[in-house]
Amino acid sequence: MSDFVRIVEVGPRDGLQNEKQAVATADKIALIDRLSATGLRTIEATSFVSPRWVPQLADAAEVYAGIQRRPGIAYPVLVPNEQGYDRARAVGVQEIAVFTAASEAFNRTNTNAGIDESLARFEPILRRAAADGVRVRGYVSTVLGCPYQGEVPLADVVRVARALHQMGCYEISLGDTIGVGTPRKARAMLQSVAAEIPMSALAVHFHDTYGQAIANIAACLEEGVRVVDSAVSGAGGCPYAKGASGNVASEDVVYLLQGLGLECGVDLPSLAETGRWLAGGPRDRPATGDASAATDDALAALDAALAASPSPAQAKLLRQARQALADTRQRELDTQARYAALFDAVPDPVSILSAEGVVLDVNRAGIVAYDRPRGDIVGQPIELLNPDLPSDHLQPVWEALNRGDTYVIEVTNMRGDGSRFPVEVHSAGFQDRGQPCIVAVARDLSGRWRAESRYRLLMESIDKGVILFDRDLRVLSANPAAHRILGLTGGGVGLNSMLDPEAWIIVDEHGHPLTQSQWPTSRCFQAGRMIRSTIIGLYHRPRGRMLWLAATNVPVFGNGCDQADHVYAMFSDITELKRNNTLFARAQSLAHIGGWEWDRGLQRLYLTDEARRIVGQPADLEDMPDLLDCLRSDDRAALQQALADTIEHRSSFGLELQGQRRDGHSFWIRMIGEVSAGDVDAARITGTVQDITERKQAEETLRVQARTDPLTGIMNRDAVLSDLGVRMDSPSHDRVAVLYIDLDRFKVVNDLLGHNAGDELLIEATRRIATAIGTEGLLARFGGDEFLVICDLRDQPDQAEQLAERITAVFSAPFQLGSDEFPVTASIGIARAPRDGNRPQQLIQNADTAMYECKRRTRNGWQVFSPELAQRQHDRLQIESRLHKALDGDEFHLVYQPQVNLRSGATIACEALMRWHNIQLGPMRPDLFIRHAEHTGDIVRIGQWALREACRQVRQWQDDGLGLVRVAVNVSWRQFVGEDLARWVRQVLDEFGLPGSVLELEFTERVLIEDAPDTLRTFARLREMGVMLTIDDFGEGYSALNYLRRLPIHGLKLSQLFVEGIPRNRSDVAVCEAVCAIARSLGLGVVAEGVETEAQRQCLLDLGVTVGQGFLFAHGLPAADFERRLRRARELG
C-alpha cells in the first residue's frame, strides 16, 4: 500500500455552502488560490446546484472562471443534475462529483427521490461525462448514521457505492454526514464496501460532531484508505441534523499524517495560515453601525464626574447611572449586530431605500448579484440598478404601501459590467427614526425564465404525448403530441371531457377493463413512484375508435412532501404494433427468441413453444431443475446463483449458457430474467431465452481465424506470441526453444514471378517445415517469409538442433513453381529459455539475431544464439548510438570522386561520398555505418545533411569561378518513404540558388521494391526540377526490370560487383552487355562504378559505356583537391 495520502479539500464547496451569510465571490476565489499554494492536489471548488437550494454558491460559474488553476491540481465541482452539468461544462470543468445517500429516508427527505431514483438521475450525467472525457467522483452520504432513521444498514452502503462505481465513478467518498461514527463502526463499514470495490477507489469523509473524526480517519488509514476528505479550518456543517458539526479540519488531518509517517505533499504552516485567514473573516463585512453619539457623550460625562472625587453617596449614584447607560449601549450594539447578521443572511438581494429612492443600504447578496462594491451602490438612486424605471416609478409603490399592501413588480436589473438580468421585486414600507423607507427584495428570475423556456420547447418538440394530472386526475396541461395522438382539437377542457368514463373504456394489454383506481396514473399517485411502460387500450365510444398506448407515469413531489402533487403521463401510440401482434410473435420465432416464467411458489416453469424448441426439451419440462439438468455444470451453477441474486435484490440478470438438447446436439442461449412487475414477494421471475448457437459458432470460427494465418493455415504472429508467453510463464514449461526461420532468396522469387508464385512457395515451405518437425514442435508464420518453431527441451536438450537439421534437409530439393524450379533454402536462428531470454520478445529477438548471423555467414543452415552474438549485437548498438550523435558532433564530411569520360579522361561530374570519423571508433567503413543508419532511421537526417553540404560546395565552386559542376548524391530508400524528398530538394536548391541540372540523385533498387504510393509522384516532381535520377548498383537485384519502363529516370550505374570481373569473367561480361542493352533500348545513360584497370576501361568502351569512375582515375577527394584537379584540367585544356 502506498505511503502517500491524497487530501480532497472540500472547504470551498462543502464548507462555504453552509455559511449562514453569503461570501463574496472574490473571497471564494482568494480562498481557492490560497489553498492551491499549499500543495493540495484536489480542491473541490464549488457546486452547480440551483441557487434556489444553495444560494451561497449562486456564483459557481464566476468562481470557477476566476480561480487560477494550477497544473497538477484537480478542481472538481458538484453537479446534481444535467442542468448543473451543462453549466459546469460551459466554463470548462474537467472533473465533477455527484452526491447521493445510503439512507432511503435521507434521500426522500432531501431530494424527493428514493435511492434507486437518485442513482437513475446520475446515469445520463455519467454517460455524457464519459463521452466528454470528464472524470466523475461519487459521494455516498449517511454511511454510518441518518438523522431520520438512525443507523444505516451496511448492505445499503455497499449497494449505493457499487452502483456509482459501476456507472463510472473513478472514486467513491464514504461520508459520515452527522459525525456519529466510531473507529469500530468505520472499520466495519469500510471492510464491507472494500469487499466489492478496490480500496484504491475509496475515500472517507468524516464530520467531527463527537470528536471522533481523527480517530475514525486513523482507523481507515490502517485499513488501507489513501484518500481523505477534509475542510480547511473545519469549515462547514450539517444542516440536516441538529448539533452536527463541520468537516474534520484539513490541518488536523495533515498533522495526523505527519505523525503516522505518511506523505501528503501539503505544507502544514501554509495550510494553517490559510485557515487563520479564513477564520479571521476575509469577507470584509461592512460596519454594522456605531452606538449613538449621544450615548457615548453621556458615558464620557459620567466618567469625568467620577474622576472629580465626588462623595461616596454621589459616586454610588454615578456608578449606577453609568452601568445602566452602558447596558443600554450594549443592547444597541447587539441589536445592530443582529440586524447586520439578519440583513446579510437573506440569500436574495435586499436594498433599503429612502422615500426619494436613494439606496441607504444593500446586503451581501445584493453586492454579489449586482457585481458592485457596496460604496458604489449606497447613496446612489435606485435607477443605478434599474435603469429602465420610469420617472414616476415610486408613485405606484407608495400607493400600494400606503394601502398596507406589498408592491410586487418584475423589472430588469443591471450589474456592474452592464449585463442585465430579470428580477421580481417585493417592496414593503417601514419607519426609520420617523422617516419613511422602503425595503426591496429582488428575486433573480433568470433560472426560472430559462427553465420555463426549455420546458415549453421540450414539450412542443417531443413526439411523445405528455399530460400533467393533479391529484383529482384533472388535466392541467397537454403537449401538441398528446392532442395529435388522442385526436383532440381543444385544450385542457377537451382532454378532461375525453377522459370521462362515460366516453371511454380503458383496458389493460389483455383487454380487461380497468377501474379508475387501476389506471396507471392513479397507481402512480398511490405508490409515489414511477410506473414504467404500461400498455393500455382506450376505446372511444362516440367515435368507435380504439387506441393502444405505451404509457409511463412519473410522480412530482412538492417541497418537503412525501406524497405526489402531480403526475406526468408520457405515452406513445402503439396501435399499429398491437394490430400486428401476430406478425410480431412470428418475428420472435424468426429471431429465435422464446419466453419463460418461473413461479417459485408453485414450483412451475412455463416455456413458450419457441423456448422449448430452442432448448430441445419436451413438454414435460415443468420446473427449473429440469432446465438446469440440460446445462453444463459450470453454467448450471451460474444460473442458480443468478436466480438467487435476482430474488434477494429484486434485480435482473443476463447470462450466456451452454447445454445439450435431447437429441444430443449442443446449444448456446442468452437467458434474461427479472422479478415480475408488482411482485413484492419475488414469487415469479420472467424473461426471455434467445438461441445464440449460430453466433457462438461464428465467434469460435472468428477466434480460430484470429489465431490462424489465412494463407498457410498455421498459427499467426499473435497466436504464437500468446502461446509462447503461456509456456514461459508456466514453471513446468520454462525450458523451451525458439527456431527463427527465414527463407533465403524468397524476395527474388516473389519479385520475379509475382505474389501468386510467392504465395505458392510459402504454402509449400509451410508443408515442408511441418513435415520436418511433426508433433515435436509448434509451427507459426511470424510474418512475410519468416516462421517460428517452438519446441520443448525438458526431455531432449538438443531437440532444437535436431529440428533445425531436419528443416534444412527438407529445403535441399528445389521448389517447383509453374514450369520452373527455384532453389530456396532456409536460415535458422535458435534461442533457448531461460538462458537466452525469459520473455517471449527477448527470446524471439535473440533467435532473430542468431538467424541473421547464419544468413551473414553461410545461409542454408542454423546458428545457436551465444554471448558472442550478444556482444556483436552490443557492438552494433554502440555504433548506432554514436551514429545518432555523429551529425550533431560534426563527425561527417564529404569527398568527391570524379566521373570521367572513358575515352578522353576529362572530368564531367563527381559523386559525393560520405565519410565518418568517430573519436572512439575511428574511421568507419561507409557500407557498415550506412547500413546501420538505414536500420535506425538516422539515414534521413544524414542524407539531408549530405544533400545540403554537396549543394553548398557546388555553390562555392561556382562562386570561385569553376562554373557549375554536376554532383551525384546518394539517396536512401528511407528518404523516399519517410519524408517529402522533392520538397527538401527544392528547398536546398533555392537556398543556394542552383538549377536542378547540377544535381544527380542516385538510389538503389530497394526504392523500387518498397513501391511506396508516393514514389512515382516524387520521381516526377524531381524530374520537373531538372534533377537527374539514376539507379545505383543496377543489376544486383531483380525488381528493377518491372519498373524501368514506367519510371522517369535518366540513367543506370553499372555495379562494381560486375565491373570487377570484366573482361576475364564471361558471366560478368554478359551481365554488363545485358545492362547496356537495356539502357540503350530505354534511352538511358550508363555510368560504370569501380573502374580500376585499363583492361576494364577498354572493355567498357567496347560495350558502349563512355562514363565511369573508380581508382583508375581518382579516389574520393576532399573538396579542395577536387577543385585543384578541375583547375589543372582547365589550364591544360
Active site positions, annotated: 238
User: CA dist 1130 to 421, 661, 957, 961, Å?
Assistant: 90, 99, 14, 12
* 8 Å CB contact between 442 and 452: no
* 8 Å CB contact between 495 and 593: no
φ/ψ of 341, rounded to 5, equals: -65, -45
Residue of 203, 213, 158 lying closest to 181 (CA atoms): 213
In the chain, how many H helices and how many E strands?
Answer: 41, 41
The CA distance from 1018 to 1007, in Å, is 11
The CA distance from 548 to 573, in Å, is 6
The CA distance from 717 to 410, in Å, is 74
CB atoms within 10 A of CB 742: 21
Q: Which element (helix H / strand E) includes 638?
A: helix 633-649
The CA distance from 200 to 171, in Å, is 8
The CA distance from 36 to 57, in Å, is 20
Mention every residue, 6+ apart, whose C-beta is less than 8 A from residue 265.
Answer: 4, 39, 40, 41
Q: How far is CA 398 from the centre of its chain?
A: 61
Mention every residue, 6+ apart, whose C-beta is less than 8 A from residue 581.
Answer: none
The CA distance from 538 to 550, in Å, is 11
∠844-756-762 over CA atoms, to 5°? 30
User: CA dist 659 to 624, 626, 627, Å?
Assistant: 14, 12, 9
Q: How far is CA 792 from the centre of its chain?
A: 43
Going by their DSSP bridges, the two strands 892-901 and 1107-1108 should be labelled as antiparallel
Residue ranges of alpha helices (H) inside 678-834 are: 693-706, 717-729, 746-753, 755-773, 799-810
Q: For 37-125, where are the E strands, in sequence order? A: 42-43, 46-47, 77-78, 95-101
Residue ranges of alpha helices (H) inside 146-292 are: 154-167, 183-194, 213-223, 250-260, 268-279
DSSP helix, strand, coil percent of the chain (3-state; round to 5): 45, 25, 30
Q: Which element (helix H / strand E) includes 572?
A: strand 564-573
- Grid cell, residue 832, equals 533457448
Q: What are all long-range contacts of 873-877, with beta carbons under 8 Å and residues at least 24 apart?
A: 873/849, 876/932
